[in-house]
Structure 1
Amino acid sequence: MMLFGGKVVATLGFGLGHSLGPVFVAELAPVKMRGVCLALVNTMIVIGQWLNSVAVLGSKHYNNDMAWRIPLITQIVPPALLLIALPIIPESPTWLIIHGRPDEAVKSLRRFNGPSFDVDAAMAVATIAMEKEKAAKKEQERSSWIECFRGTNGRRTLIIVMVYLSQQTIGVNFISGYLTYYFRLAGVNDPLAIGQAAYAIQLFGNMCSWPLVDRLGRRPMIVGGVFIMTALLLVIGGISTIGSQAALSATVAFMCIWGLLYHATLGAVAYTVGGETSSVQLRHKTYSINIMCSTAASCVVFQVMPYLLNTDQANLGGKICFIFFGLSLPMCSAAPRPNKSNIGIGFSYLVRRIRWI
């Protein structure tokens, strides 16, 4: 019961960080670096998963409670570092303008955009937008959440939710979350050690997304990545039906390749799309809706996965990929995100210049 309570508290913190973090980054990052900065959110997730796996590897030799206590204790380090850094992290310029602190908003904009940034123009646009929002606040107070589903805002919400749901339907919780367990079922010697190599490959894939997210564009990376990963799911599922040790080893190799592609495309770019697609006024609400939908889907997957994978139950092994293959087929489209400011993106939606495919 104590562990369950701790998990509930940790999940609350995860939900807040997952909802507010990308929104905060999208507001502070310079336009030219916003795609990379948002992709770094996934980089931190991969690094965290890897470090947790290292902690499990380091504690596997214990035959007492320390075997599970050490991985839990090490998770205190990231939030502790964040608490130390909080005093030097500037506030969001948008929040400062809303609360009547324009001078601090100017300092925040200059700090993150450099001395050559046109602060006056940015402040003028932001101030006008905030004034209009305040004027309409009373009228929209009761229907503000409904606004996320109307007109162009509804289109934005659908795009973000679709991209994030595709992370769940394409099988990341199986291939990344149950990677080490599957390695053991596949007969891999020392699966925890091999898992470190798999995480290193995933981190390398994520780093590949940094220069590509703005050069190739969001939509080509997402759609291209989803198509290739969907094909690999079919390959992994097909090889798993053979049942030989050589076939199982091949599925392990293809899963490592899949992990590299996921973190180079959908895994990283989803945070870029989520952070910059919604309107400035509804960004927090839109992203909250997105996280709720994504978390609900993730909970379903995590509840079902043990029954599908455990040897004393369905024991599907790699054939689980057939299920995710079917689920991922519809999730092969997304709107492109040009390298524009938030105001420019909003204007593009209003004049319907961005295709919906």
Structure 2
Amino acid sequence: MSCICRGTSMLSTNNAWRIPLGLFFIVPSIVMAVIWFIPELRSGVLTASEIDDEFSALQAAIALDPGQSSYWEIFQGVNRTRTAIIVVMNFFQQASGQSFVSSYGAVFVRSIGSVNPFNMTVINASVNLFMCGVSLVLNDRIGRR
């Protein structure tokens, strides 16, 4: 989208802002048109008998609830490992500097004055998009656990 905005910024007419804004409506419009034909849509398949079954299943799940719990449970037993994994992941996400680059990268590159900030933003977005695809493929092949 940044490339489209960059390309339309050279236009002197109202199309400079209308084209990027109009592109934001393409995907939601397709989803709104096609969603009614998706057979797995839960609200379309739910019958009156299934509603009663789902309601009784919810009541059974509520009955199994142990009651009040405290925040200290996240630091005990198996939950301690899960909490540690999340804390370490968030630490390294912040330590990598990616949030800084995606938020202030263009301003930082402009202050250096060595390369075009827009080009660096496009390169960063392209690398992010590519690596998201790689992570999806690896997640399917390796698995989550």
Q: TM-score w.r.t. structure 2 length?
A: 0.57
- Whether 1:85 aligns to 2:10 is no
The answer (yes or no) to whether the contact 1:98–1:130 under 8 Å persists in 2 is no
Length, aligned pairs only: 136
CA displacement 1:61-116 (0-9 Å, x = unmatched) = 145765555433432223222212211332259x9599716xxxxxxxxxxxxxxx
Residue 121 of structure 2: aligned partner: 195
Residue 204 of structure 1: aligned partner: 130
- Whether 1:76 aligns to 2:25 is yes
The answer (yes or no) to whether the contact 1:97–1:130 under 8 Å persists in 2 is no
Q: Match for 2:94 among 169, 172, 178?
A: 169
Secondary structure (helix, strand or coil) at the match of 1:134 reads helix
Give the Cα–Cα distance (whole angstroms) in 2 for the partners of residues 173 and 80 of structure 1. 31
Deviation of residue 163 (structure 1)?
7.5
CA RMSD of aligned residues (A): 4.6
Counterpart amino acid of 1:76? F
- Identify if the C-alpha distance between structure 1 residues 134 and 78 changes in structure 2 by more than 3 Å, giving closer, same or farther: same
Deviation of residue 147 (structure 1)?
6.2
The answer (yes or no) to whether the contact 1:179–1:195 under 8 Å persists in 2 is yes
Give the Cα–Cα distance (whole angstroms) in 1 for the partners of residues 71 and 46 of structure 2. 27
Deviation of residue 191 (structure 1)?
3.0
Secondary structure (helix, strand or coil) at the match of 2:50 reads coil
The answer (yes or no) to whether the contact 1:180–1:195 under 8 Å persists in 2 is yes
Deviation of residue 56 (structure 1)?
1.8
Give the Cα–Cα distance (whole angstroms) in 1 for the partners of residues 15 and 85 of structure 2. 41
Counterpart amino acid of 1:53? S
Superposed, 1:276-295 pairs within 5 Å as none
Q: TM-score w.r.t. structure 1 length?
A: 0.29
Give the Cα–Cα distance (whole angstroms) in 2 for the partners of residues 139 and 98 of structure 1. 25
Counterpart amino acid of 1:83? M
Superposed, 1:175-190 pairs within 5 Å as 175-190=101-116
Q: Match for 2:60 among 102, 110, 135?
A: 135
Q: Which runs of 5+ in 1 are unaligned?
A: 1-51, 102-126, 219-336, 338-357
The answer (yes or no) to whether the contact 1:183–1:191 under 8 Å persists in 2 is yes
Secondary structure (helix, strand or coil) at the match of 1:61 reads coil
The answer (yes or no) to whether the contact 1:57–1:193 under 8 Å persists in 2 is no
CA displacement 1:288-344 (0-9 Å, x = unmatched) = xxxxxxxxxxxxxxxxxxxxxxxxxxxxxxxxxxxxxxxxxxxxxxxxx3xxxxxxx
Relative contact order higher in (CA < 8 Å, ≥ 6 apart): 1
